[in-house]
A and B are shown apart, each in its own frame.
Chain A
Amino acid sequence: MPLLEVKNLTKAFGGLMAVDDVSFHVEDGEIVGLIGPNGSGKTTTFNCINQFFPVTSGNILFKRKSIIGLKTHQICHLGIGRTFQVVKPLARMTVLENVTASAFCRVNTIKEAKDEALRVLEFCNLADQKDKLAKSLPIAGRKRLEIARSLATKPELLLLDETAAGLNPGELDEAIELIKKIRDIGISILIVEHIMKVIMTISDRIHAINFGQTIAEGSPREVANNPAVIEAYLGEQHASR
């Protein structure tokens, strides 16, 4: 059963079509990669799914129900969690407080929320950092905290926006491990990532966009060999030289 269905999603900022008629879906238990060069509309797609931005046209269904017009906090309660590409730690709260605040999404008492938060921190290998202020974490820790926080809201679908960017090779492997662990506990994932090592090893399917439009979709191997994808990435590489 498709968990998330994005149908003809379009988002315009004035005259700029940031997302232009994009359709894809995420099945229950799947990891779907969303790739594309810088500025191709990946983050905007996320912002539309969790209703951060009103969509211009198209439809988004979660468990076959349209979620268009809901509030961002309602999307979270429905079971869609997300992380931010530009991390947004609750800076002057401790790591534990950050995660406890989000655990209140499902429970009401302090004790339950703290227990859940500690469990999630353990799962994300952050337990030893729990009493540090969020702002004192290095980038890898902040990226992990983003994940921990959204996991504490008990999502069925997790949207990960470049959680591996800025990590060193060791940290990268840990991040891949963590994402696999999340999939193994039954959470479906839609992941945006520039680092091919990550996206190619963990995705079941990949959806590639450029200038807001779909250019390819299929298995990682198919997409990696697709001429349009190669051109989008190589073209970008040449342009940046």
Chain B
Amino acid sequence: MKKNHLFMIILGIFFLIFPLVIHSHYYQHLVIIIFMWVVIGSSWNLLAGYTGQVSFGHAIFFGVGAYTAGIFATKLGISAWWGMVFGGFFSMLAGLFVGWVCFRLRGPYFALATLAGGEIIRLIATNWESLTEGMVGILIIQTFKSKLSYYYIAFVLAISCIYVIHLIMKSKWGYYFVSIREDEDAASSLGINTSLYKNISLLVSSFFTGMAGAFYMNYMAFIDPEVVFSLHYVSIMAILVGIVGGVATIWGPAVGAFVMVGLQETFRSSFFGLAPKWISQAHAMAFGLLVIFVIMFLANGIVGDWSKIKRNIFRIKPSNA
């Protein structure tokens, strides 16, 4: 316990001073993106990992958050930072609707319904040009010149998201979410209003994912439907972040975000220019191999199987005792 706290404090201090020491915009950018994925992955994990409602459509919430901030800024002239609050809020409204429709279904059928929902909203955003500018996308003017401000905003967002989920999971809600995951029928006969609590989990999850989307709008200053409503780059990535790091663990998605963003970037940059260019085309394959590896050897993800990983690393070392 004590050791864990100390480790967390050191880690916190490390990330607080990181951008003050490392001035490279490139590395600052990478960590900002990682923080954003910590938020999305943790939110996905709350709904899928803890509550057992596996979503293939988290791009819905990311995209709605991003578009809320973008549309408020361009159409209404409201600062895109207010958009972060509104983004979370409108994303929750989207969550309410998604829950109303998709929670009629259970298990894999729920997952497929969210998948369909993600594709539908991407098509709506593409075609409703009067509102979203369609494929042209939305461009805003960045508020801050330096990356530092974005860095700390993303940092606070990531920490708050993890902390709120940690608090939730220690409360009655947490017990209820996990009970629903384990057996929905048993849960309802034990007095748990399963549809209410599934919706609560979904709303919290969509709120934070929407905030992450609105942050993305602010930070990147440009969005279009293919990016923020992307099945591949958002919905699937959220799942990968969750399962690689470890579902139903507090720190799993954070570790998963590091690994996945790191891996994505390693391939995109052709191993930082060290490997031939064509390797950047192979990143989808690398993701696939990673998922197979994780499912075969670390079914509970890096955090979930940490004791197993430690054991194996120590076994490799020659024992001299």
Contacts and interface: CB of A to CB of B under 8 A. Distances in A.
A82 interface: yes
Contact of A90 (B170, B172, B178, B193): B178
A102 B188 CA distance: 10
Nearest to A88: B186
A153 B190 contact: yes
B171 A110 contact: yes
* Size category of the binding interface on chain B: 10 to 19
The secondary structure that dominates the B interface is: helix
B189 A91 contact: no
Contacts of A5: none
B187 to A, nearest CB: 8
A92 to B, nearest CB: 6
Interface string B157-185: 00000000000001110011011001101
Contacts of A75: 189
B30 interface: no
Contact of B190 (A91, A92, A108, A150): A150
Contact of A104 (B176, B182, B183): B176
Contacts of A105: 190-191
Nearest to A109: B172
A77 B176 CA distance: 15
Nearest to B192: A73
A76 B179 contact: no
Contacts of A102: 190-191
Given A91-B182, A92-B182, A110-B170, A101 B189 contact: no
Interface in A27-84: 50, 52, 71-73, 75-77, 81-82, 84
B51 interface: no
B172 A84 contact: no
A52 B176 contact: no
Given A100-B175, A110-B170, A110-B171, A90 B182 contact: yes
A94 to B, nearest CB: 11
A162 interface: no
B189 A93 contact: no
Contacts of B189: 50, 52, 72-73, 75-76, 81-82, 84, 150
A33 to B, nearest CB: 21
Interface of A: 50, 52, 71-73, 75-77, 81-82, 84, 88-93, 97, 100-102, 104-105, 108-110, 113, 149-150, 153
8 closest residue pairs by CB, A with B: A76-B191, A105-B191, A90-B182, A88-B186, A102-B190, A101-B175, A72-B188, A101-B179
